[in-house]
Amino acid sequence: MMALDVFKHVRETVETFSACTSLPAAAISGQGDLTAYAGETLPHALAVNVLQQIPTQIMQFTSGTKLRMDHIAIPVEGHEDLQVIAVPLVKGSFMQGMYIIGPFSKTHLQTCVHYLIELLRSIEGTGLTTSLQFPANLHVRRAVRYVHQHYSEPLSLESMAEYLGINKCYLANVFRSEMGETFIEFVNRFRVEASKQALRETDEPILNIALQHGFTSQNYYARVFKKLTGVTPSEFRRQAKLQMVSLAQ
């Protein structure tokens, strides 16, 4: 069994992540015990007995490989478009247990997987006292969820305020107070994180990736990307490809 303080921290991480994303989430110990579960009433949430079968699938998948994996995607039986993501409690090894994110639609959220993992790790590392915690303000919660679902579409403070039915100056102030950044800064950061998977795993032209993730031009995408990451999209792609080659050797 996990030590009490570790168990509490894992449970809080799972609950906060589920609250932030509106996705089911769970944690399973290295002994196969379900130690945390949030969002079990959300659509497509898995039953406990199904969740407890996932570690066996993970061990079968990882046996014989020396690669350190930051996550593994597992399809949900009987649901062609649904999958869960298993993330090791201890980076690189599933032996100590794992977080389970989802199920969620491969069609709608596949590009967000790396963002979701980074959000989970951030919540795990910072506890519940930072701006990554579930926003207290209802309007901010609705705005964050809307961005998660519609980041590839045109978004602005004005359009979001209109969607929420509130004053844009009020939204600007309360959003920055709750999230520690402006609405547009949050949107751009989310779009950049969502775009990283396409840069890592495809040879899609950078212009196409920019447009698919809500940016209006390649130049603007490149400026925002470099401001947030310190490198251009092309440099990020090159470094990611080199890391993949190194891992495969």
Q: What does the pLDDT look like over 42-51, one tens digit per residue?
A: 878 888 888 8
Which architecture does CATH list for 138-248?
Orthogonal Bundle (1.10)
Fold match between domain 4-120 and domain 138-248: no
Checking if the pLDDT of 33 tops 90, the result is: no
Cα–Cα dist 199/116, whole Å: 16
Cα–Cα dist 62/39, whole Å: 28
Return the number of other C-beta atoms located less than 10 Å from residue 60's C-beta.
Answer: 9
Beta bridge partners of 83: 75, 104
Q: For residue 57, give the nearest of 40, 92, 32, 37 by alpha carbon.
A: 32
3-state percent breakdown (helix, strand, coil) of the chain, nearest 5: 55, 15, 30
SS (H, E, C) 187-227: HHHHHHHHHHHHHHHCCCCHHHHHHHCCCCCHHHHHHHHHH
- Residue position matching structure tokens 């809500």: 214
Encoded tokens for 169: 């100056």
Q: Is the pTM of this model over 0.95?
A: no
Question: What CATH number is given for 4-120 in this structure?
Answer: 3.30.450.30
- Beta strand extents in the chain (DSSP E only): 25-29, 34-38, 72-76, 79-90, 93-105
* More confidently predicted of 27 and 66: 27
Question: How far is C-alpha 191 from the geometric centre of its chain's CA atoms?
Answer: 12
Q: What pLDDT does 99 receive?
A: 93
Encoded tokens for 46: 């898995």
* More confidently predicted of 84 and 68: 84
- Give the type of residue at 230: G
Q: For residue 74, give the nearest of 63, 95, 59 by alpha carbon.
A: 59
Checking if the pLDDT of 76 tops 80, the result is: yes
The alpha carbon torsion through 28, 30, 31, 35 (nearest 10 deg) reads -30
Q: Which sequence spans correspond to the domains of the chain?
A: 4-120, 138-248
Residue 24 backbone dihedrals phi, psi, to 5 degrees: -60, 145
Q: What does the pLDDT look like over 1-29, one tens digit per residue?
A: 344 466 778 888 898 888 888 889 999 88
